[in-house]
Structure 1
């Protein structure tokens, strides 16, 4: 039994970390050696470690590009120990160590500031997996449509519409967040290019602690690059299969001598073809960021991103056949060479104000505005014949997507007797609007011309070229094709920390009010959703947790009969075990969960432009993740997920017990990377990886009617590289066994099978220089 006097034998350590020129250093990791206690410095370089046991401890302070600092400090019970300013020096040797040795390069210990919480990942009562910039670079990933999902248990990429990524996890679509804001839209925003991304945080389970409403299955948070205060730059050039040419520039530094004004600029240009005939996606991205220190307590960050894409018409990746799936070569495309391209202009901006109210309290306010326009078309098939004929149609797809978001929240610690309260409270506001013109379509066939996949002719006769009427504004052409949603949410969370932070109880709740208008009809709803979580440290490197959270998520749209969709409701229960190994060099997480969801949407099998609503689904599963440095220079990402997702209630009794479309029962991935740390070939690296999905189910709802499962999908990849502190070169070869991997289903609307293939064996060769 622990007595109250022991509760009181705790103290606080505060301090500030600066550069040799006395400029504050943010994002310095502060850890109490051999302990689960840790934090990071704020923009003023300040940190606070609360509830530190009385006695003598070693503080470890580290930041990429700086010499690691270790300090011994003796603290007295019930007193605050203030350290003198700690100086971290930038050093070439340290930069070389980080680059060449790759120490802990795939493991992250703390969440980004945009996840709102100050608690280390091992202490959160939720499964959070981080894909960091080093891993993205090693795998040569260009955007969210590519292999990001392989690095997290149970995450799979759904069939995609070229520029809009849809990831699935725990039986349903994962909500996309950017810098802590839920930017989910029916279509959009444009998938993020990795040139502007610092890390991607996959959060399993509800988004409650983000103050946001989101899918109970989870969300991914794209964290964009911010100024670091360290002057540096990097240039990369890549070429590869399918006429791929890409260049990126990353500049980071100071605009004022005193370091009060910082900047970050990322620029990307890309021309990329495809393994499919006459398919392409040419893009460029410009992403400037400014950060200004108004005072010792206040900073403001302004961020703008412009992404442009010119691509072949949407839907060109789909192929149709009357006799089955994957019966044609992978290079077959649904597009034609003389169809006009689709052009997308995507703008997004953030304004973030951070103010340190006191040593223990911080106020954050952030605004975001998203605006994208699309001028283009989409392809589908009316039907397909056994001789290879595909009766294609093209429809106009012009659209405008707008989102306005605001969040204001406070974080702080309050101590009441032996209990420390870690408080998060805030307001979440948003307004989303999507306008589209789908009103015009043309057949790409007549009595003299039909596309045949066995003998493809990709040039349309002149009389079949579509002529879309764009003489009126998009809003006039769209008519009732308008989807909008406005919402407001109030969220309060108290993380109660007991027994010197060994036990952490989270109590929280959110009140959400929404107003939806879809295709001319509207609904208003207000709901309260609670959240309860507990996390217990069994020792300094091991914790167990349990979580219960309810979901409320409005859904835009109408079914083909004009009925508005009801909001998703349900609950999530989860337990898990987290452990750091080898003094924190690598960690593992295992979790088990059950999610019950009401009113889930899936694609209408009778018409691809609509969705239908299922009654209730239940998804349960087990997930395992391992990441970090096993041995010096040897890093591993490995994961496995078992998922079982079934329809439990439905208006059609014959559907009860059937699998929910769009998931894989077994998913396992690995990426093993070794880099030589010393000797004649120092800097040489070799990587091997695989992606393996078993018992796969198609995305569309009638995948349960004919051939409900898809073939197992296995892909192996290899990479070889060399790098030092300035120069790098890397060759990645993907799908080395040239497996024909595809996803699809029988589609009753076209009375044919459809599928979408993944790339055959391909390579990417990149060169980079840091300065």
Structure 2
């Protein structure tokens, strides 16, 4: 049953607000600006790190924005679902639904950790705080391509930056929304901006959700509190503080079993874990403090710090992957399982600062960005498990911890007690310094030059083997780009960059891996059509990486080296307004991501050969949607539809197991019932298609949701 205490508490706060929000614009840096009656422009929002003073058309990089309105139209409340809107992003293994994992342009990073992303320019997302909710997100920036020389420590395919909703100084407004969806999903959200004084505002954002799911016995409870405080310290200085406090309670779920490439082996709703394991609990608490100061209309500075703690705990019963211990490959129904426990505790501290400005040397105009950052990531993992015996020893069903996948009976046996497998602390410290200069050679031609210096140290303490491993390294990573305005609607660009990232963790013997080195190149065209009503980017790219890692299947929490990898492809992103007041977005990507080394896994005897595809990376991906607003009955309506296609992709490293392609359709709409009251609805997977989000093995396949409907009511004050 849903706990209405969360929704009630949020709604009570919302009821205190009744002043409508002012009309806000966005400048090139993503700042909110408010127009005053005396034509004075007052900055009420915040600048974004790494951005400098550039329009998107001037940046030699493919950048796609997923706006808050697009998320609301589609009823999206999870980051993983939001990223489906961009074809260059592919889903990866999510640790039983407990963290976010995705690949941009074919490269996913460390499989044993959540995929890192930026939050307001700070490195974040690496801890085990559960899957990110979209509440409090103003927009998602998909920063594709060779940008590691600026951001540092990221994947060469691109970086995701989450821009959160900030307190707007001098404004009072708010809205509250309640949502109901398929599988008894109840959700409440609130967003209130309060002008405490002329110089101080507080923005209170919160959400709570209680839901069943299409998966048998799997229910989820989540909530979050995401306030922001903005303080103007004079006309040119602003201080911003953000808090993140979230909690997720959900069973660990490895998905379904697929035998002999038969995806109808079991129904998609069948849970093959053990309900008696209870929920995994993921908690996160984060703090950000940022200070921005404008020295003049040409020079500004940003400094800030963040700290984020996460904790993940729980038990699970996961299918055994080793063939020698797995009778299901023989009889087609008796699935042996491991029982596992996890206590993952992490802390990440980031301090960074930058100065951006403009100056001239003769006839050349320069826009420079100079900065430095420090990052410390501590990751403690206490992982325990008990494995079933070898099939050859003819164990009892209790000893093998068997579940009948065709007729599951939960709770047949006492729950086995997991034994220590991995008890390890990884501490990574990194320091980086970067400089970038974009030079305007002519009215049409600009070049970008830059470099980043990174220095890192990594210490791993294995409390089981008493092995302590240390490593440090440093490197300079250059970048270069060129932008040429061919004509008013077409701007050509090209960019090259190198990247450098420490591989955290060790192999099972305690050896720390060599750092990952990457090289990226891309070229394309930025489009502005129909007098700017339609904008987009067409891109060709190629990325190469050395010292790539994959999870050690036989030793969870450890990695194995698979050598070199390459990804290359084509992208097209378009969005805007068509004649007839139709709004649309289109995102297409062709990605050819493959291994470039030959590797033999000693535990499972599979071989990775050059040319083998990387796991969970489709060749072709497409997302498109079209919507239109119109007046009917003196009310404003909006109706729209969308489609997503994901091609087939490798489902398990070193095998020929392939996930089939899928095409999903969705419809959505909204109507303003009365002033300030909006009714929204959406239906995803309209034709109830069977589809599969990702997999790690044919025994760990995550099925996608069936047809799902959502309706929400939003009250604006």
* TM-score, scaled to structure 1: 0.81
Q: 2:128 aligns with which of 175, 188, 191?
A: 188
Aligned residues: 660
Q: For 2:265, what is the secondary structure of its paired residue?
A: coil
Match of 1:690 in 2: 643
How far is 1:720 from its partner? 2.7
Compare 317-326 and 733-742 and name the one that shifted more.
Answer: 317-326
Q: Name the CA distance, whole Å, in 1 between partners of 2:230 and 2:564.
A: 47
Deviations 1:362-418 (A, max 9, x none): 111110000011221233112351342221222110111100000011011111221
Q: Name the CA distance, whole Å, in 2 between partners of 1:721 and 1:354.
A: 38
Match of 1:54 in 2: none
Structure 1 pair 592–175 and aligned structure 2 pair: CA distance change class (3 A)? farther
How far is 1:180 from its partner? 0.6
Q: Does 1:428 align with 2:373?
A: yes
Match of 1:315 in 2: 253
Q: Does 1:760 align with 2:692?
A: no
Which residues in structure 2 correspond to 1:45-84 (within 5 Å)?
Answer: none
Match of 2:566 in 1: 618
Gaps of 5+ in 1: 1-24, 31-38, 46-62, 70-83, 91-109, 470-476
Match of 1:559 in 2: 507
Match of 1:732 in 2: 682
Q: Name the CA distance, whole Å, in 2 between partners of 1:572 and 1:160.
A: 26
Contact 1:306/1:348 (CA < 8 Å) preserved in 2?
yes
Match of 1:106 in 2: none
Q: For 1:683, what is the secondary structure of its paired residue?
A: strand
How far is 1:227 from its partner? 1.4
How far is 1:655 from its partner? 0.8
Q: Name the CA distance, whole Å, in 1 between partners of 2:373 and 2:176.
A: 38
Q: For 2:72, what is the secondary structure of its paired residue?
A: helix
Q: Name the CA distance, whole Å, in 1 between partners of 2:338 and 2:422.
A: 22
Match of 2:8 in 1: none
How far is 1:604 from its partner? 3.1
Deviations 1:206-246 (A, max 9, x none): 33464432111111001111012331111111111112010
Structure 1 pair 720–479 and aligned structure 2 pair: CA distance change class (3 A)? closer
Compare 586-595 and 390-399 and name the one that shifted more.
Answer: 390-399
Match of 1:170 in 2: 105
Deviations 1:79-123 (A, max 9, x none): xxxxx84479x9xxxxxxxxxxxxxxxxxxx99623422211111
Match of 2:233 in 1: 294
Structure 1 pair 504–721 and aligned structure 2 pair: CA distance change class (3 A)? same
Q: Does 1:333 align with 2:271?
A: yes
Contact 1:706/1:746 (CA < 8 Å) preserved in 2?
no
Match of 2:408 in 1: 456
Contact 1:395/1:438 (CA < 8 Å) preserved in 2?
yes
Q: 1:505 aligns with which of 441, 447, 452?
A: 447
Contact 1:307/1:347 (CA < 8 Å) preserved in 2?
yes
Match of 2:660 in 1: 711
Contact 1:284/1:308 (CA < 8 Å) preserved in 2?
yes
Q: Does 1:305 align with 2:244?
A: yes
Q: For 1:275, what is the secondary structure of its paired residue?
A: coil
Contact 1:26/1:228 (CA < 8 Å) preserved in 2?
no
Q: Name the CA distance, whole Å, in 2 between partners of 1:168 and 1:620.
A: 13
Q: 2:424 aligns with which of 481, 485, 492?
A: 481
Deviations 1:528-579 (A, max 9, x none): 0000011111233321100000011111122234432221102101001011
Q: For 1:505, what is the secondary structure of its paired residue?
A: strand
Q: For 1:172, what is the secondary structure of its paired residue?
A: coil
Match of 1:389 in 2: 334
Match of 1:100 in 2: none
Q: 1:533 aligns with which of 464, 481, 494?
A: 481
How far is 1:740 from its partner? 1.0
How far is 1:442 from its partner? 7.0
Compare 608-617 and 211-220 and name the one that shifted more.
Answer: 608-617
Q: Name the CA distance, whole Å, in 2 between partners of 1:323 and 1:594.
A: 32
Deviations 1:25-47 (A, max 9, x none): 997446xxxxxxxx46968x6xx
Q: Name the CA distance, whole Å, in 1 between partners of 2:458 and 2:474.
A: 12
Q: For 1:188, what is the secondary structure of its paired residue?
A: coil
Which residues in structure 2 correspond to 1:311-390 (within 5 Å)?
Answer: 311-312=250-251, 314-319=252-257, 321=259, 324-382=262-320, 383-385=326-328, 386-390=331-335
Match of 1:149 in 2: 83
Match of 1:671 in 2: 625
Q: Does 1:269 align with 2:217?
A: no
Structure 1 pair 239–28 and aligned structure 2 pair: CA distance change class (3 A)? closer
Q: Name the CA distance, whole Å, in 2 between partners of 1:516 and 1:289.
A: 33
Q: Name the CA distance, whole Å, in 2 between partners of 1:584 and 1:744.
A: 38
Q: Name the CA distance, whole Å, in 1 between partners of 2:211 and 2:100.
A: 17
Q: For 2:79, what is the secondary structure of its paired residue?
A: coil
Match of 1:13 in 2: none
Q: Name the CA distance, whole Å, in 1 between partners of 2:614 and 2:583.
A: 35
Q: Does 1:661 align with 2:615?
A: yes
Q: 2:671 aligns with which of 714, 722, 730?
A: 722
How far is 1:732 from its partner? 1.0
Match of 1:252 in 2: 193
Contact 2:273/2:316 (CA < 8 Å) preserved in 1?
no
Q: 1:410 aligns with which of 355, 360, 372?
A: 355
Deviations 1:631-657 (A, max 9, x none): 354211111111111222334586112
Structure 1 pair 265–442 and aligned structure 2 pair: CA distance change class (3 A)? farther
Match of 1:398 in 2: 343
Contact 2:152/2:499 (CA < 8 Å) preserved in 1?
no
Q: Name the CA distance, whole Å, in 1 between partners of 2:227 and 2:611.
A: 50
Match of 1:216 in 2: 156
Q: For 1:122, what is the secondary structure of its paired residue?
A: helix
Q: Does 1:439 align with 2:439?
A: no
Q: Name the CA distance, whole Å, in 2 between partners of 1:729 and 1:319.
A: 39
Q: Does 1:117 align with 2:55?
A: no
Contact 2:428/2:458 (CA < 8 Å) preserved in 1?
yes
Q: Name the CA distance, whole Å, in 2 between partners of 1:122 and 1:356.
A: 24
Contact 1:321/1:390 (CA < 8 Å) preserved in 2?
no
Structure 1 pair 466–767 and aligned structure 2 pair: CA distance change class (3 A)? farther
Match of 1:240 in 2: 181
How far is 1:357 from its partner? 2.0
* TM-score, scaled to structure 2: 0.87
Contact 1:278/1:336 (CA < 8 Å) preserved in 2?
no
Which residues in structure 2 correspond to 1:539-550 (within 5 Å)?
Answer: 539-550=487-498
How far is 1:191 from its partner? 3.0
How far is 1:745 from its partner? 6.0
Structure 1 pair 384–329 and aligned structure 2 pair: CA distance change class (3 A)? farther
Structure 1 pair 554–508 and aligned structure 2 pair: CA distance change class (3 A)? same
Match of 2:439 in 1: 496
Q: For 1:481, what is the secondary structure of its paired residue?
A: strand
Structure 1 pair 391–563 and aligned structure 2 pair: CA distance change class (3 A)? same
Match of 1:76 in 2: none
Which residues in structure 2 correspond to 1:196-215 (within 5 Å)?
Answer: 196-208=136-148, 210-215=150-155
Structure 1 pair 753–283 and aligned structure 2 pair: CA distance change class (3 A)? closer
Gaps of 5+ in 2: 1-21, 109-114, 321-325, 389-395, 463-467, 601-606
Contact 1:319/1:756 (CA < 8 Å) preserved in 2?
no
